[in-house]
Amino acid sequence: MRYLIIIVLIITSNKIIAQQLITGQVLDNISKLPIENAIVSYGNRVSITSYTGKFSFVRDTSTKFISIKKLGYINQEVSLSNRFKEVVILLKASEINLKEITIYPKRDYLKDSIQLRKDFAKVFAYKELTIKDVIVKKGLRYKTPGSNLVSNSTSSIFSVDVLKIAGLLAKNKSSVSKLKKAQLKDEETKYIDHRFDVEKIVSLTKLEGDSLQKFITKYRPSAAEIKKMNDYQLLSYIKKSFLEFTKQNND
């Protein structure tokens, strides 16, 4: 008899506990698959769904709603009812609108330099005219029967290219030569900017604004100077120049 009473009490207590629990499952609205790690709020209590999408709470008669949140889904609030044995919640996926961003790639100096030389290959391969280019060598001529030609005369061996003479006289004004010089000058400027760059100077000197600009203008090395420096020597040059710059400003 005593064992029967114990069994009855166990069954009764299980029913009471079951009535006091709110259980549920969160599923995807389309695929009907469980949604894991969804945040389920019930009054002041919060639970995280398992890999099966399930959750549970001890019932609170003062709380009538459950809210569910999950990244990538629309938030949902569900009203509770005593007729529900298990709450099944279907979440709808939401559209995630990302703000438009602009990506600025970091310039590759070496790649730019190689591409520049490819683009202007003809310019860099340009060779200025010399006196040898003006004189055109002819084949030797020999007297043939019935002709009055003078064999092997100077005029028959060499001739002058008039157009090339004009080019020789005007070679310093050649647009090609000017373009070549301009491109080489631009390449040197980019090389200096690549090594004597602002980020490196700021990290070593902590200068900013007008002081930074004055420092760069005053101590910017020439292309010939910076080509003689390795990275360590360049850092030493910047530090030494900064000490001199600071001293002059303090004075």
Residues in contact with 45: Cβ distance below 8 Å, sequence separation at least 6, in sequence order:
57
Are 86 and 151 in the same domain?
no
Looking at residue 16, its pLDDT comes to: 45
What is the bridge-based pairing of β-strands 39-42 and 65-69?
A: antiparallel
Q: What is the CATH number of the domain that holds 68?
A: 2.60.40.1120
Are 137 and 86 in the same domain?
no
pLDDT tens, 169-228? 555 555 556 777 777 888 888 888 889 988 889 988 989 888 899 999 999 999 889 888
Residue 29 lies in a domain: yes
**How far apart, in Å, are the Cα atoms of 217 and each of 28, 56, 211, 236?**
63, 70, 10, 18
Residues in contact with 165: Cβ distance below 8 Å, sequence separation at least 6, in sequence order:
134
Name the more confident of 208 and 127. 208
Instruction: Tell me the two tokens of residue 74.
Output: 């629309």
Using an 8 Å Cβ cutoff, are 137 and 154 in contact? no
Residues in contact with 149: Cβ distance below 8 Å, sequence separation at least 6, in sequence order:
141, 142, 143, 156
Of 30, 65, 91, which residue constitutes the final position of a domain? 91
Using an 8 Å Cβ cutoff, are 223 and 188 in contact? yes
Looking at residue 237, its pLDDT comes to: 93
Name the more confident of 173 and 102. 102
Residue 236 lies in a domain: no
Reading phi first (left if > 0) and then psi (alpha if -120 to 50, else beta), residue 209 is in left
Are 137 and 83 in the same domain?
no
Q: How many domains does the chain have?
A: 2
Report for 114-118, 138-142, 236-240: range of highest mean pLDDT? 236-240
Using an 8 Å Cβ cutoff, are 102 and 110 in contact? no
Looking at residue 61, its pLDDT comes to: 80
Neighbouring-strand partners of residue 45: 42
Looking at residue 39, its pLDDT comes to: 95
Rounded Cα distance between 204 and 24, Å, is 60
Looking at residue 18, its pLDDT comes to: 45
pLDDT tens, 143-165? 545 545 444 444 445 555 555 55
Of 65, 91, 117, which residue constitutes the final position of a domain? 91
Residue 34 lies in a domain: yes
Residue 106 lies in a domain: no
Amino acid at residue number 247: K
CA 7 to chain centre: 71
Q: Which domain holds residue 37?
A: 15-91
Are 23 and 86 in the same domain?
yes
pLDDT tens, 129-147? 565 555 555 554 445 455 4
Residue 216 lies in a domain: no
Residue 231 lies in a domain: no
